[in-house]
Structure 1
Amino acid sequence: MTISTSSNTQIRVNPGDWKHNKFDLPYMGKYQVGCFTLGYEFMIQYMHLVHRIPTNIDNASCNMTNENAVMYMQQCDIIDNRILSQMREMVKKPKNGFSVFRRNNVITQICIDTNHE
């Protein structure tokens, strides 16, 4: 499945898509999942959909960006290593009922999949 909005095309992530083509690539940080990077928007959506954390960010009124919101949740231990590991697992093998999307090599979105078996 592909979601296309003008010039921004998002592609559904399938199990195994995260694996590197090369075996010698080093670990590149806590937001890496193989060849993908977890995007802040995905992280916010994940916390809302999976953990039911209210994540309404009114950018205009409080100057809060998705990056700032993620950093805040990490500083308050709302997003900890266990949650980051769960996010990486969701990208590696999306659970039934969820679809994960990417734009290039950035994981950008998670949605509830109403068409799952």
Structure 2
Amino acid sequence: MTPASCKAKGRNLQNMVCDTLRTLYQCHPDDIRPAIMGESGEDIKVSPAMRTRFPYSIECKNQERISIWEALSQAENHARTKKTVPALIFHRNRSKTWVAIPLEDWVALLSVLDASREAV
């Protein structure tokens, strides 16, 4: 693949993630936007106002083969500077899109989900 097509592939995943989050949160496009290719930091840029509702630093990888540990380290580095939860979103051709977050944060999400079900 050419460098341009690799960047386009990565941009497609970022755009899909942004569209999904904007739909979920019903927010303005400036509140959740994809990083410009080559821009340092998180792959999904979140406004300060939106950060209270979405406390994640996202690293996106749209590759056939990824080094999961390097990608997670990248997400952790971004999260450390923002004081957020690191999240890795990864995809490859003809596959589902996956999300990796720390176990304790996944358990916290399950607790909130369980509490909301009990409240019904």
TM-score, normalization by structure 1 = 0.31
TM-score, normalization by structure 2 = 0.30
Q: Which protein has greater RCO, CA pairs closer than 8 Å, 6+ apart?
A: 1
